[in-house]
Amino acid sequence: MTVPLSHGLVARRSGPLSGTARVPGDKSVSHRAVMLGGLAIGETVVHGLLEGEDVLATAAAMAALGATVTTPDAPGAPWRICGVGVGGLAEPACVLDLGNSGTSARLLSGLLATAPIFSVLTGDASLTRRPMRRVTEPLSRMGAEFLTRSGDRLPMAIKGAPLPVPIDYVLPVASAQVKSAVLLAGLNTPGETTVIERTPTRDHSERMLRQFGAEIRCEPADDGGEAITIAGHPELAGRTVRVPGDISSAAFPLVAAAIVPGSEVVLQGVGLNPRRTGLIACLEEMGADLTVTPDPGAEDEPVGTLTVRGGPLVGIDVPPERTPSMIDEYPVLMVAAACAAGTTRMAGIGELRVKESDRIATMAAGLAACGVKLEVEPDAMVIHGTGRPPAGGATVATALDHRIAMSFLVLGLVADAPVAVDDAAPIATSFPGFVELMGGLGADLSAPSVPSASAAGPGGAP
Ligand code: S3P
């Protein structure tokens, strides 16, 4: 089944899902592989790169900055990147358009902040609403100059520091993007740059920087948490990178199989970095029948197989300290919570308000339109599940947010009446082949027969 993604989609109640699948490559690891490959001397060969729009935006930006990026000559073949060397980025001739991709914007800001060149970043209607102060603040301290639109938003002009200075920086928000931006800026900075994080966030940058030859230390910080220190001016050497499947994409078939009775789905080659597995912990606590089998041969990142069977779920309290390990999985966890018996409380999730959409508001509006009882607080959400499928029967506004679109399509597989999303195009940013993969497992997804008349949620029609 091939359904074009340039319009809405409808999900209908489906029979048990079954089969074995592999989700596309991890988005975070893919961005970093392209960036570090673009800085390293020699060839980097990337197997399993996510060919989603977000990563393609990073690849185009690295090419505009002087790296040689060779796209595969056949489906499934690796990407090849020849880098410019640390300190070798060329001034781009054009504005770098990063589409929907916050990771591209934040991490590239780090690279550009300590390159003595001028650049301008922009993006789509979602990305140009997202806050950049979280990166411009530490990167200004390193000597970069930024000019932004009001509210510290893109478009943003960057004048990289001609003489960068190293900093010690305590992260004010638990953000791997901010941590990574400062560490990447530290590459072209003399001396040692240190980032201190009080709550652990995904460590793909630290792992991959080390693999490319950077000198990087992770030590307990004096006042708690971890201090990550990178030594400036390393020689990065091209290498082979194997990108694991994205657990944030696996989350959709995983939750779908957990909530559709009688399902049995096996997801192979999924990245199981321990700082990304919060959703697995939640589903286990909710009573999901879930088995995790690590692959013994995994190298740079832990990888494994997830086997899940459909069955009843119960509501849980999700502790706030779990947030960074499942930051992108809350929308689909909310779908699981809507199908569970009892109340699920998700606290400490204020960061969801500055994702591709305000995910607390967008999910609350869509779930309420589907008949789910819930309460919203500034940085928390409480969902009251009844233990039976929600009513559904709504068209949900996805607000240019891929994970909102996929979450509601999962909900539609169990809801009493079909659930539609007004715009499925953003799914291509992170999960090309979503419709085909889900269809292969037995999900009933199709184009709407008539154009959607109304959409619930911020940005949607009343
Ligand atoms: C990412 C970090 C997270 C996550 C995003 C990818 C990364 O963002 O939501 O999808 O690759 O570093 P924050 O650092 O803003 O939490």
Kindly state the tokens that stand for 63. 């090419």
- The answer as to whether 387 is a domain residue is yes
Q: How far is the CA of 151 from the centre of ligand 1 (A)?
A: 20
Q: Do 112 and 53 fall within a single domain?
A: yes
Residue indicated by tokens 């999962």: 410
Q: How far is the CA of 418 from the centre of ligand 1 (A)?
A: 31
Residue 450's pLDDT band, with cuts at 50, 70 and 90, is: low
Residue that finishes a domain, picked among 191, 212, 242: 242
* Distance in angstroms (rounded) separating the CA atoms of residues 253 and 335: 12
Nearest CA to ligand 1 atom 16: 175
The 10s digit of each residue's pLDDT in 261-293 is 999 999 999 999 999 999 999 999 999 999 999
Arithmetic mean of pLDDT over the chain: 95
Q: Is the pLDDT of residue 4 over 80?
A: no
The 10s digit of each residue's pLDDT in 316-364 is 999 999 999 999 999 999 999 999 999 999 999 999 999 999 999 999 9
Q: Do 279 and 190 fall within a single domain?
A: no
Which atom of ligand 1 is found nearest the CA of 179? Answer: 14
Query: Which CATH number belongs to the domain containing residue 296 in this structure?
Result: 3.65.10.10
Q: Do 255 and 345 fall within a single domain?
A: yes
- The answer as to whether 453 is a domain residue is no
Strand locations in 151-294, DSSP E?
153-159, 168-170, 192-197, 216-220, 226-231, 240-242, 264-271, 289-294
Q: Do 333 and 227 fall within a single domain?
A: no
Kindly state the tokens that stand for 176. 């791997």
Q: Do 168 and 308 fall within a single domain?
A: no
Q: How far is the CA of 177 from the centre of ligand 1 (A)?
A: 5
Q: Is 9 in the pocket of ligand 1 (CB under 6 A)?
A: no
Q: Is 327 in the pocket of ligand 1 (CB under 6 A)?
A: yes
* Distance in angstroms (rounded) separating the CA atoms of residues 47 and 80: 9
Q: Is 197 in the pocket of ligand 1 (CB under 6 A)?
A: no
pLDDT of amino acid 7: 84
- The answer as to whether 78 is a domain residue is yes
Q: How far is the CA of 309 from the centre of ligand 1 (A)?
A: 29
- The answer as to whether 176 is a domain residue is yes
- Is residue 26 part of the annotated active site? The answer reads no
CB 20 within 8 A of CB 442: no
- The answer as to whether 207 is a domain residue is yes
Kindly state the average pLDDT of the residues 123-141.
Answer: 98
- The answer as to whether 462 is a domain residue is no
Chain-centroid distance of CA 47 in Å reads 19
For residue 74, with 0-12 CB atoms within 10 Å meaning exposed, 13-18 middle and 19 or more buried, which class applies? exposed
* Distance in angstroms (rounded) separating the CA atoms of residues 206 and 174: 15
Q: Is 26 in the pocket of ligand 1 (CB under 6 A)?
A: no
Q: Is 128 in the pocket of ligand 1 (CB under 6 A)?
A: no
Q: How far is the CA of 16 from the centre of ligand 1 (A)?
A: 33
pLDDT of amino acid 1: 38
What is residue 329's three-state secondary structure? coil
Report the residue count for the chain: 462
- The answer as to whether 189 is a domain residue is yes
Q: Do 158 and 71 fall within a single domain?
A: yes
Q: Do 107 and 207 fall within a single domain?
A: yes
Task: Exactly one of 246, 300, 328, 358 is catalytic; name it.
Answer: 328
CB 458 within 8 A of CB 399: yes
* H or E element at residue 164: none
CB 459 within 8 A of CB 397: yes
Tell me which residue range forms the domain holding 272. 5-25+244-446
Q: Is the pLDDT of residue 459 over 60?
A: no
Q: Is 35 in the pocket of ligand 1 (CB under 6 A)?
A: no
Q: Is the pLDDT of residue 195 over 70?
A: yes
What is residue 186's three-state secondary structure? helix
The 10s digit of each residue's pLDDT in 52-101 is 999 999 999 999 999 999 999 999 999 999 999 999 999 999 999 999 99
Residue indicated by tokens 């060969």: 45
Q: Do 165 and 236 fall within a single domain?
A: yes
pLDDT of amino acid 299: 82
Q: In the chain, helix, strand, coil percent, each to 5?
A: 30, 25, 45
Whole-prediction pTM: 0.96
Q: Is 176 in the pocket of ligand 1 (CB under 6 A)?
A: yes
Which atom of ligand 1 is found nearest the CA of 248? Answer: 10
Q: Do 235 and 321 fall within a single domain?
A: no
Q: Do 66 and 21 fall within a single domain?
A: no
Q: How far is the CA of 358 from the centre of ligand 1 (A)?
A: 15
Residue 454's pLDDT band, with cuts at 50, 70 and 90, is: very low
* Distance in angstroms (rounded) separating the CA atoms of residues 270 and 259: 20
Q: How far is the CA of 27 from the centre of ligand 1 (A)?
A: 10
Q: Is 100 in the pocket of ligand 1 (CB under 6 A)?
A: no
Which atom of ligand 1 is found nearest the CA of 202? Answer: 12
Q: Do 228 and 306 fall within a single domain?
A: no
Q: Do 237 and 249 fall within a single domain?
A: no
Q: Is 30 in the pocket of ligand 1 (CB under 6 A)?
A: no
Question: How many distinct structural domains can be found in the chain?
Answer: 2
The 10s digit of each residue's pLDDT in 201-233 is 999 999 999 999 999 999 999 999 999 999 999
For residue 290, with 0-12 CB atoms within 10 Å meaning exposed, 13-18 middle and 19 or more buried, which class applies? middle
Q: In what side-by-side order are the strands of the sheet with 79-82?
A: 68-70, 79-82, 43-47, 240-242
Which atom of ligand 1 is found nearest the CA of 355? Answer: 9
Which atom of ligand 1 is found nearest the CA of 134? Answer: 15
Higher pLDDT, 374 or 449: 374
* Distance in angstroms (rounded) separating the CA atoms of residues 220 and 243: 28
